[in-house]
Structure 1
């Protein structure tokens, strides 16, 4: 299982309550991230990755 930058960014957007304070410890975020990541369907993961690719192309 690999986490790309786009997946990490989407997790931060969808789980904003976890990022309210300045503590970004691995211990605090690991379990919620793994649960969130494993709950995504293959189509959702591909959609997140394709959105990331599209935004990179439009920024150039």
Structure 2
């Protein structure tokens, strides 16, 4: 019954993931490939963490 009020731990990570991808896209448009690749790598790490949390449920 009280599971309804339990927060989803992946929700916060998903927001961070989406924000990193958006920043990476903007960096790519500016031609800053180094920043683009760094932000994409960070986003991939967040995605791996999200997948790990989903698998544990």
Greater RCO, 1 or 2 (C-alpha within 8 Å, sep 6+): 1
TM-score after normalising by structure 2 = 0.38
Structure exhibiting the larger radius of gyration computed from Cα positions: 2
TM-score after normalising by structure 1 = 0.37
The structure where helix makes up a greater share of residues is 2
